Structure 1
Amino acid sequence: MKFSVIFEAQLANPDPDSEHQVIRDCVEQAVLAEEMGFDRVWAVEHHALKWYAHMSAPEVFLTWVAARTSRIRVGHGVVCMPFRFNHPVRVAERAAMLDLLSGGRLDLGAGRGATQQETSLCGVDPERTQAEVEEALRIIGRTWQQDELEWHGDLLDIDPHPVLPRPVQRPHPPLFLACSKQQTLARAAELGVGALVMGFAGPDEVASMKRFYDACVAGRDGTQLVSTEVNDHFSALCPTIVLDDRERARAVGIRGQRFFAQAIAHWYGGGGVPDDAVTEDDTVAEDTDSATEARRMRSAAEQVVAHLNEARIPVRPTTTAVYNPEHAYGNAADAIAYVERLRAAGVDEVMCLVQMGTVPQEVCMETIRQWGRHVIPHFSPGGPDRAGEADHVDAAAAAQGAAR
């Protein structure tokens, strides 16, 4: 399995100073992730979603991370591909430039960016987003197959032009699609692109989705492939906080997830402002115990259900999945047990979500260290014995930091 970290740049206090700091903090987490043995970092793209995601220009963030690292892959998880967010040729140009500068380390995911808040900002037609994402993937899959790109599709016409520069990974970096439902999983399989599964339902649901994805891959006829390069890679989200203090890790993790869930509900479902959001001169509350946080999580889920019932919107199991608190929160042994379930589910990559709006930077950094010392070595070819190597790397990194 591969291991990665995904960044939203969430924060409870959205004032400019805090916003600037959280993005710098994400860079430091990414640099540490390389030192601790992670394979990849992903960065989202969202627009105007205060609290939930301040990562609006991931191509700049990933370039900065690539310049600070030498080995770890850098991934768009994902680019908003509707044309008024990003024209497909501009996506291709920027991707090629980053792939070139990083030495061939880029992965390129596609998504819709379909909240009303985002589409209204950029004049995107919500009814066209799926079709535009698919056509963009087809254009990128074709771009460097010949010396010049020529495209005459359902939505765009492009006369012959060279698209420059050319990427290191030919004909293009690996392609992915954000997936949260069976419909998008099936489409990813048919298109021949990797699946980035972003849900919070847990390993049992991940296993069900993986079986469905594999069945779709096995049953495709090849007519819908977007490129000659097929990528059947399945990545699954793993919300995680890992500390020696198991109780504190669970409390911090569940609280961070509640903030994440409420921020999603605010922008995607018309819910209220997250409980821990700073709106004026408030301060973020101190940590509490895990039992209190679990109770608050249940209460938040009940509020969502009540809101939907009042609006006469059907409540499905997926509606409250993001409020499921049973993830890799605890000590290293808890995380290893959770990842064992993901491995049994057949995932190719464990995508760690650490940076959530209320999680302090020191906890994010310690979680990444714990994964590097204990969790990743357990699943690496060298097995648990590699934990000593990770400790050595961590000590060397600390020494370098002290010297600076």
Structure 2
Amino acid sequence: MKFSVIFEAQLADPTVEREHQVIRDCVEQAVYAEEMGFDRIWAVEHHSLKWYAHMSAPEIFLTWVAAKTSTIRIGHGVVCMPFNFNHPARVAERAAMLDLLSGGRLDLGAGRGGTEQETSLCGVDKERTTQEVEEALRIIGKAWQEDELEYHGELIDIDPHPILPRPQQTPHPPLFLACSRADTLRQAAELGIGALVMGFAGPQSIKEMREAYDSALAGRDSSRFVSSVVNDHFSVLCPTIVLDDRETAQRIGIRGQRFFAQSIGHWYGGAGIPDEAVVEGADEAAAMREAAEQVVARLHEHNIPVRPTATATFNADHAYGTAEDAIAYVEQLRDAGADEIMCLIQMGTVPQEACMETIRQWGEKVIPHFRSERTPRPRSGQASLERREEQPPRHREVQPPQHREEQTPQQRQKENR
């Protein structure tokens, strides 16, 4: 199992000074995550979503972190792939440059960035976002297969051009898709790419989403694959605050998640401005339930059906508490099918010291619990477990037999392993 930290750069009381400090705090957390044994960090991309996400240029953030670290993987979770946000060729160029300079540590996720606030900023056609994301993934999957990229699709034409530089990972960094519904899980599986899954609804929901993903894996052929390599990795979001004092961790974590839920509701569902107040000793679990009830009441008022996803972000039953509480919750996510736990720690009202202490507790207590389960050890003649785990799990090459003669002896040796 892999462990990672995901960054939104959320911000209560968004003054210029606090905004600058929060982004610096995220860098500090990311660098510390490597020291504490995490496998990966992820950074989102959103635009103009005040409060919810001030991470508008993750390529810069990730490059800065990559320069300050040496082993932790660096993940776009995700790039907004509609063309007016980011032209596919530019995404490929930037990804290759960062992959090269980081020593082959990049993972590349794709998403829609579909809020009205974001699409109106960049002139994105909301009706085409799903198609453009898939077409962008096909272009990136094809970009370095030949000396020059040529692509003629339904939405975009690219005449022959070299895409420079080439990434260190061949043929490109592992690809992922942001998934929050069964249809996007099926899409990810059919495209042959990993799934980055929202986990607010809890382990049972994750189990159902994993079953949907596995069902699509079992039923797919290669007709929709976007690349010659397949990545069947299933990463799950895990909101968490871990401290020695269980009640304090729960209060800080649930308060932070309430800010997250209200700010996402503001931009995605037309709710009011998120509540930024932090009241010492408040019953945050009760405040979370009240906030969820307000969402339901607003939906009823507008005659909108109340689906489980409408209040999922207000579910407060997560890895909040002691390290033992976090271990027990991660065991549930593992049993539900998670290949990777994406820790959501930096939420708008969570103080930096709680974020850093949570990373320390995970690194010293939670992650080692699951690392100790990595048995059996490799037999003589096998690559070491540590060496194998430098590569993303399940990222395997899919190459027709007629192309094997074009491979180098080293590539054939690697594939035969």
Alignment TM-score > 0.5, same fold? yes
Q: Distance in 2 between matches of 1:285 and 1:306?
A: 24
Report 1:349-368 matches (<5 A). Answer: 349-368=340-359
SS in 2 for 1:230: strand
Structure 1 CA distance for aligned equivalents of residues 278 and 195 of structure 2: 37
CA distance in 1, matches of 2:158, 2:281: 57
- For the residue of structure 1 that corresponds to 2:342, the secondary structure is strand
1:236 aligned partner, one-letter code: V
Q: Which residue is equivalent to 1:146?
A: 146
Work out the CA distance in 2 between the residues paired with 1:208 and 1:307. Answer: 28
**In 1, distance between residues paired with 2:157 and 2:372?**
48
1:335 to 326, 333, 350: 326
> What does residue range 202-281 of structure 1 map to in structure 2 within 5 Å?
202-276=202-276
Q: What CA distance in whole angstroms lies between the structure 1 residues aligned with 2:162 and 2:292?
A: 51
Please state how far the C-alpha of 1:199 moved relative to its aligned partner: 3.3
- Deviation for aligned residue 1:13: 1.3
Query: Quick check: 1:263–1:274 contact (8 Å CA) kept in 2?
Result: yes
Counterpart Cα distance in 1 of 2:369 and 2:327:
8
**Secondary structure of the residue that 1:78 maps to in structure 2?**
strand
Q: Is the 8 A contact 1:251 1:287 kept in 2?
A: no
Shift of 1:382: 6.6
What's the counterpart of residue 46 of structure 1?
46
Matched residue type, 2:100: L
Letter in 2 for 1:359: V
The residue number in structure 1 matching 2:287 is: 296
Distance 2:107 2:124 in 1: 25
Greater mean alpha carbon deviation, residues 214-223 or residues 32-41: 214-223
Instruction: Tell me the equivalent position of 1:122.
Output: 122
Please say if residues 252 and 287 of structure 1, whose CA atoms lie closer than 8 Å, have aligned partners that are also in contact: no
The secondary structure found in structure 1 opposite 2:113 is coil
Amino acid at match of 2:357: E
Query: Residue type of the partner of 1:80?
Result: C
Alpha-carbon separation, structure 2, partners of 1:142 and 1:222: 15
Counterpart-to-counterpart distance in 1, 2:336 and 2:299? 32
3-state SS of the aligned residue for 1:98? helix
Equivalences for 1:164-179 in 2 at 5 Å?
164-179=164-179
Aligned partner of 1:391 in structure 2 is: none
Deviation at 1:9, TM superposition (A): 0.1
Is the partner of 2:311 in helix, strand or coil?
Answer: helix
Instruction: Write out per-residue CA displacement over residues 331-380 of structure 1, whole angstroms, 9 at most, x where no aligned residue.
Output: 00000000011111121100000000000000000000000010000000
Decide whether the 8 Å contact of 1:39 with 1:72 is kept in 2: yes
Q: Any idea what SS the aligned residue of 1:375 has? A: helix
Q: Secondary structure at the match of 1:216?
A: helix
Per-residue deviation, 1:212: 1.2
What is the Cα deviation at residue 126 of structure 1? 0.4
SS at match of 2:313: helix
In the alignment, the residues of structure 2 paired with residue 99 and residue 229 of structure 1 have an alpha-carbon distance, to the nearest angstrom, of 17
For residue 389 of structure 2, what is the aligned residue in structure 1?
Answer: none
Note the alpha carbon deviations across 1:242-292, whole angstroms, 9 max, x for none: 00010000000000000000001000000001111xxxxxxx434324xx1
CA distance in 2, matches of 1:199, 1:288: 27
Match of 2:109 in 1: 109
1:259 & 1:348 partners in 2: Cα distance?
28
Partner SS for 1:168: coil
Distance 1:157 1:84 in 2: 15
Structure 1 residues 287-339: Cα deviation after superposition (integer angstroms, max 9, x where no partner) = 324xx101100110011111111111111011111100000000000000000
Q: 5 Å matches for 1:43-192?
A: 43-192=43-192
| 2:231 counterpart SS class | coil
1:348 aligns with 339
How many aligned positions are there?
Answer: 374
Q: What is the aligned counterpart of 1:311 among 287, 302, 307?
A: 302
CA contact (8 A) 2:78 2:178 kept: yes
Tell me if the contact between 2:47 and 2:56 (Cα under 8 Å) persists in the aligned partners.
yes
Determine the structure 2 residue equivalent to 1:287.
280
CA separation in 1, counterparts of 2:250 and 2:216?
A: 36
Q: Which moved more, 1:193-202 or 1:36-45?
A: 193-202
**CA distance in 1: counterparts of 2:211 and 2:366, whole angstroms:** 25
The residue that corresponds to 1:374 in the other structure is 365
Q: Which runs of 4+ in 1 moved over 2 A?
A: 284-289
Consecutive unaligned residues in structure 1, runs of 5 or more: 277-283, 384-404
Unaligned runs of 5+ in 2: 375-417
Q: Which amino acid aligns with 1:306?
A: A
Q: List aligned pairs for 1:194-209, cutoff 5 A.
A: 194-209=194-209
Return the letter of the residue paired with 1:228. Answer: S
Query: Does structure 1 retain, via aligned residues, the 8 Å contact 2:323–2:362?
Result: yes
Alignment-mate amino acid for residue 35 of structure 2: E
Measured in 2, the distance between the counterparts of 1:198 and 1:381 equals 27
Check conservation: 1:188, 1:195, Cα contact below 8 A: yes
Output the CA distance in 2 between the equivalents of 1:144 and 1:150: 10
Q: Aligned Cα RMSD in Å?
A: 0.9
Percent identical across equivalent pairs? 75
The letter of the residue matching 2:289 is R
The 10-residue stretch of structure 1 (306-315 or 237-246) with the greater mean CA deviation from structure 2: 306-315
Q: Deviations over 1:99-147 (max 9, x none)?
A: 0110000000000000000000000010000000000000000000111
Between stretches 207-216 and 122-131, larger displacement belongs to 207-216
Aligned to 2:399: none
In the other structure, the counterpart of 1:324 is 315
Are 2:278 and 2:349, in contact at CA under 8 Å, matched by a contact in 1? no
- 8 Å Cα contact 2:255/2:278 also seen in 1: no
CA distance in 1, matches of 2:139, 2:363: 38
Separation in 1, partners of 2:147, 2:247:
58
